[in-house]
Amino acid sequence: MATGIFCIGFTSRFTNFSQIPLYTADIALLIAWFSLFFSFIKTVFKGTFRRRYITHPVQSFAIGTWIAGTSILCLLFYKQFPEYKFVYITISLLSGGLWLFYLFICIQCYYVILKSKYFDKIHGVLFLSTVSTQSLVIVYGRLFNNHFFYELTKLLIFIGIILYIINFSFILKRYIFYTWNLSDHWLNTNCIIHGAISISGIAAISSGTINNTIIFYIWLLALTMFFLVEGIEISRMFSRLSKYSFQKAIGCYHVSQWARNFTFGTLYLFTINLELPQKHVEFYLLKTAIINIGLYILILLLVIEAFIFLMHVLNRSQIHQSITPILRGYIKPTTHDKSPL
Concatenated DSSP letters for 182-208? Answer: HHHHS-GGGGHHHHHHHHHHHHHHHHT
Instruction: Please give the C-alpha separations between residue 241 and each of 162, 250, 251, 259, 334, in angstroms, as whole numbers.
Output: 37, 8, 10, 21, 13
Which helix or strand (DSSP H or E) is residue 3 part of? helix 2-13
pLDDT at 320: 47
Q: Nearest 5 degrees, angle CA 327-CA 333-CA 339?
A: 125
pLDDT at 337: 45
Maximal C-alpha separation, the chain: 64
pLDDT at 5: 56
Instruction: Please give the C-alpha separations between residue 99 and each of 142, 160, 190, 224, in angstroms, as whole numbers.
Output: 18, 12, 22, 29
Quote the crossing angle between the two packed helices 258-273 and 284-315, to the nearest 10°: 160
Dihedral sign of CA atoms 292, 125, 97, 37 in order:
positive
> One digit per residue, pLDDT tens: the chain, 341 residues?
545 554 555 455 555 554 555 566 666 667 667 776 777 777 777 777 777 677 788 989 988 988 998 988 888 888 888 899 999 999 999 999 999 999 999 999 999 999 988 888 899 999 999 999 999 999 999 999 889 999 999 999 999 999 999 999 999 999 999 999 999 999 999 999 999 999 999 999 988 889 889 999 999 999 999 999 999 999 999 999 999 888 888 888 888 888 898 899 999 999 999 988 777 778 888 999 999 898 889 889 888 988 888 888 888 764 445 544 544 555 555 444 444 45
The residues, ordered by sequence, that sit 6+ positions from 72 with a Cβ below 8 Å of its Cβ are: 1, 4, 5, 8, 135
Distance, CA of 195 to CA of 197 (rounded, Å): 5
pLDDT at 15: 52
Rg (CA), the chain: 20
pLDDT at 249: 85
CB 3 within 8 A of CB 28: yes
pLDDT at 192: 95
Long-range contacts of 286-292 (CB under 8 A, 24+ apart): 291/13
Distance, CA of 88 to CA of 93 (rounded, Å): 8
Helix segments in 244-318, DSSP class H: 246-250, 258-273, 284-315
Q: Nearest 5 degrees, angle CA 265-CA 26-CA 146?
A: 75
Say how many residues make up the chain. Answer: 341
Distance, CA of 8 to CA of 19 (rounded, Å): 13
